[in-house]
Structure 1
């Protein structure tokens, strides 16, 4: 039988925690913007994508922002931890210094960080067991070095609807669609976040919400005969949030994983709303080439997603 008293107590503690975290974020960016928000990312190309336009948005919103990075393309929680562990065993071991010749400890020790984010590699995001014990080890490592920092989970997004890689993101009952990838990865992120008592930046949810709206969803172009396609022609990729098709040295390349400019913009909008607890809807900055009407919808969806996540927690 479920102990309802324990469940209510846990829920109450989580609500208090997220209120405190939200207050800390707000205090970090007040005082006329004199005190910058110091944000440190432990991630990979997805964290790079998601924060590509965050400096521009922060500047327009009147917020000073400093970003530190410990990012390796394709890196998982386990890989980041393995490098940190190698540095602890031997500070001179190159294996412990994968971030431009520096260790995670060296980078984290460069001043005081307000917020430190962690994330799983997208290809492993649907398998909750790949998060254990590495998410907790990284969390405890960060808190040891930066006890006042708010550690936050960055929820990565599902691949594009026409991806061929969904089956790789979880063991056993693997995903077969973008929706299944989102569902499985979301469940994993929130399971571990609840275990650690940390909040989630809901980028994956925002991507899904955009693609759940018929008017704004990307629709695969089934009219193209790829055998006859020649540069510089490409399939219709209207409203895509992912890189998709492009020509690379005369060959047609396809990337269903990484965000394009619109996706990077959506990611940054979510981070803006989450970090500053402030609506990005009023902001006017938008990457060149992104349709203004689409940009407007991205801003609305980002803020609606952030508000829903904060209210739920």
Structure 2
């Protein structure tokens, strides 16, 4: 479905006068035929589980409409992009990291997903990608992305536009809590090394410590939990979970990482458990260009006076 949708998008590019261009990462660009340095507008086509049909795709289709209108009206050159693998099937921001030269092609192609598929094998199997050349970032003057709000802030405030000033950074840990699996009916409470009660204590302590250290932009999520053997009459032997935190400042992210590691160690010692915490994902925060922010603020104030705000984006 992903590749079929990209081929459909390439047809739409051609229909509105853009030139489809794939790169080695299977990012798909629609380039305007006129000379000059175009503005690049776009987003991604994949989404998180149950992320909704507008997650990412909205920004791609909006960009297509802006480019089509500009072509028809004789406006400035506008290019469109749909980035590949934004949502971490292989790693966070795979396609855009490659485009912006934060990830080289060999490293990209060696990435594997949960099914064991290799990025390079999947990409180079596409005829459109075979022999494709990368595009340089300086081919474009700016990059703009429109996105639906994936949170309640604007909606609850009855506001319509958020002008993004910072893309927050994130850190993610894989935490494994190991106790001792035993029969629930014959193992006294005093002799149990229960991984789930250890997990509960770990999460409770994290919540308290993160809250005490948080800035207004700090958020954290334990979004995946797996219990083994996950049976009603067995004292759980192990729990694995993800721990993710986000903030716009590097020092705050570093602090939250320290809290995570220290808390894991303390709970392990207090409850006679083994807890490992391995950081497996890291994305740096990025401030947006102040000139572009100001231009969007002026436009927002003109079109939605009193119903917009500057805000971070995750």
Q: Which TM-score bucket, shorter chain as reference?
A: under 0.3
TM-score by length of 1: 0.28
User: Which is richer in strand?
Assistant: 2
User: Which is richer in helix?
Assistant: 1
TM-score by length of 2: 0.28
Which of structures 1 and 2 has the bigger CA Rg?
Answer: 2
